[in-house]
Every structure is written in structure tokens, then in C-alpha cells.
Structure 1
Amino acid sequence: MTTTNEKDSLISLKRLSANDDYYNIVFKKTERISSAVFYILSYIEINDRTKVHYNYLSDKAMALHETVINSLNLFEYEVKDKIFPLQQALVVMDSALTLASSARVVTTAITESVTNEIDTV
């Protein structure tokens, strides 16, 4: 004899990696931002004046990339509580670019274009 309890229901748990909107809008854009920063860094001549900013930008771009990859493992219900590290990494990347721009390591135009991309995430 089988009984069906009306309270029993299937709950679908999806990771963010399976969410097309998150993958296409947040993950891919953030990945492009990291790639753009590494591309920009490939054109910076490393000397005593630029070395600190070069290393800082490189570290922050890698941290952003790692953070967005880790976010793919989150379940959709966890987003509200656990997406903060990604938001923080985006803000840190923006700040690092602003510092590099102030030190004239990268141009203001480059900083503005990457900042605009960060704002769309």
C-alpha cells in the first residue's frame, strides 16, 4: 500500500553554473573584465615606477577570476548570503584600476571603459 503525502514535494536545487542568466551576464562579463586587465598588463612596461601597480593589478585580476569561478558552485538559494566576495572583488578591481590610473600606469580612458563594464555586472 502506497500513500502519498500532500506535503511531500520535490525541490529542485540548481547551482549558479546551471543558471543561464548568471552564467551569461555575471560570469562571462566578469571573466572578460579579468581577461581585459591581463591584456592591458601585457602592454605595461615594468620598471621601478610601475612594478607595484602591475603586481597589484595582476593579483586583483586573478583574485576576481578565482572568486567568480568559485561562485559557480553556489546554489541559487545561497546567492543572497554568499555573493558578497564577488561583489567585493569587483569593487577592489575598480579601486586598483583607479589607483593605477592616478599613478599614470594605465590611461584614464582604459580605466573608465573597464569601470563601465564592472558597473554593468
Structure 2
Amino acid sequence: MAAVPNTSSSIPPAAAPMASVVTALPSVVTVVDDDDDVYDAIAEGCMLNAYKCVYFNVPLSSDAAQPLYYVTRGHKISVFLGWGNVGLKVLGVSRTIFGSVENIDQGIEALIAAIDAGTAVQV
């Protein structure tokens, strides 16, 4: 019996990207990928998330001693742990948008709301 070729994809299996996808929240996808472009976007100690084709980092865990911030308009949009990680992303940005949150989920929700509203901008 002859093997039937897979016609559902035009990408040969050997060339397909090696990616793992984990659902973090409904409609938010966490991307862990070996592709160089995506790997470069992942900050140390963070997971790269994608929502409506907008990528943002989220800390893997939070340290109770450091406050959490979200940035929806800055040099980089993400959820950050501690002001030291936020300052360089917002200083010098015209009309920067950021705020503090109590937990990582609130930061993700703020990012999703900004993406839905069209106000999430990386400048």
C-alpha cells in the first residue's frame, strides 16, 4: 500500500517551524519558538505572548518585593517587573502609556484592552 502524500500544507514537514504553543488566557497565545527572530524578542525570565499579531513579554513569575508595570505605548510594550525594567522603555517617548498592576494577569488584561482599542504602540 502506497503512502498518501499530505496535501494539507505546502511546507514540507522537515521545514516546518519547531514551535510550542500554550494557551495562557482565552485568545492569548504564549509562543515559545526556536526561530531566531522570535527568540530575540523574548526577554530573559519572560514568555513571549501574541495577541492579534502583537507580541509582548510577560514575566514568568513575580517578586512580591518589586511592583509590576504594564507599558502599552513605549519603546517596548510588555508587562515588566520593577521600575528598573520600565524606565528605559518609557522615558523619552511622547505620550507614553504605562501603569502599575497588582498581578501579571492584570497586566495582560491591560495589554489586551490596549491592543483591542488600537492604542498599543511600540515606538
TM-score (norm 1): 0.28
Q: Which has the higher strand share?
A: 2
Q: Which has the higher helix share?
A: 1
> Rg bigger for which structure?
1
TM-score (norm 2): 0.27
